[in-house]
């Protein structure tokens, strides 16, 4: 009777150990999924806030309440693949504002673990540049004509631009299991840079 009892105890210990290891693995997966979910949620919230500001400003590109303030002049002063400077009456106060968006280099955030993240700046007139987002890994502007053909930067006052394709990617500054969470936002906006004023 002692021999079978010993085998029962040994068998129960092995089965219990297997069950315990499975429970620990399930717990680890739950913690990993919760961490990834929270990182993704925070990242997407940051992206929505940044995209809302960009969308608002680009929707107002070239807007004026009083057409005589701009006349037939173009509205994009300078446009490259990762920066733009345009004018608009952004706050609808009757004076022309200059809005700039530009990207830092990757060394600006060298203290974060993510080697690709950069700062997206927004500047209104001659104010101090505002850090709009500090987890941008891609901010690309593509300028298009009325046929959706690319217009080669640099874009200036003489360039005819009908649409601007905006692409932005953000990544979490901290990796989980050597993977960075990311979110992407893309939009095509109408530019008033080539619309003739009456």
Q: Is 52 strand, coil or helix?
A: helix
**The whole model's pTM is what?**
0.80
Reported as a pLDDT band with limits 50, 70 and 90, residue 106 is confident
User: How far are the Cα atoms of 143, 151, 191 from residue 146, in angstroms, in the given order?
Assistant: 10, 10, 10
- Which sequence spans correspond to the domains of the chain? 41-194
Q: Is the Cα torsion angle 131, 54, 176, 39 positive or negative in sign?
A: positive
Q: Please say whether the beta carbons of 74 and 99 come within 8 A.
A: no
Position 172 scores a pLDDT of: 87
Residue 30 burial (C-beta neighbours within 10 Å; 0-12, 13-18, 19+)? exposed
CA distance linking residue 137 with residue 65, whole number of Å: 36
User: How far are the Cα atoms of 14, 24, 99, 164 from residue 19, in angstroms, in the given order?
Assistant: 9, 9, 61, 57
Q: Which residue has the higher pLDDT, 5 or 150?
A: 150
Q: Please say whether the beta carbons of 160 and 151 come within 8 A.
A: yes
Choice among 19-33, 123-137, 155-169 with the minimum mean pLDDT: 19-33
């Amino acid at each position: 009777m002692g021999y079978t009892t010993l085998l029962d105890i040994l068998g129960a210990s092995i089965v219990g150990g297997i069950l315990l290891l499975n429970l620990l693995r399930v717990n680890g997966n739950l913690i990993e999924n919760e961490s990834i979910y929270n990182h993704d949620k925070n990242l997407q919230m940051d992206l929505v806030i940044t995209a809302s500001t960009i969308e608002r400003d680009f929707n107002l590109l070239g807007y004026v309440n009083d057409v005589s303030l701009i006349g037939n002049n173009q509205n994009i002063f300078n446009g490259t693949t990762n920066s733009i400077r345009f004018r608009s009456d952004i706050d609808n106060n009757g004076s022309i504002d200059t809005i700039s968006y530009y990207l830092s280099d990757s060394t600006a955030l060298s203290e974060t673990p993510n080697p690709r993240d950069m700062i997206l700046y927004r500047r209104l007139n001659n104010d101090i540049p505002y850090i709009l987002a500090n987890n941008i890994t891609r901010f690309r502007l593509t300028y298009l004509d009325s046929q959706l053909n690319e217009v080669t930067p640099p874009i200036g006052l003489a360039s005819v631009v009908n649409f601007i394709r905006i692409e932005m990617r953000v990544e979490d500054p901290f990796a989980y299991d050597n993977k960075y969470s990311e979110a992407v936002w893309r939009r095509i906006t109408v530019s008033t840079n080539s619309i003739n004023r009456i």
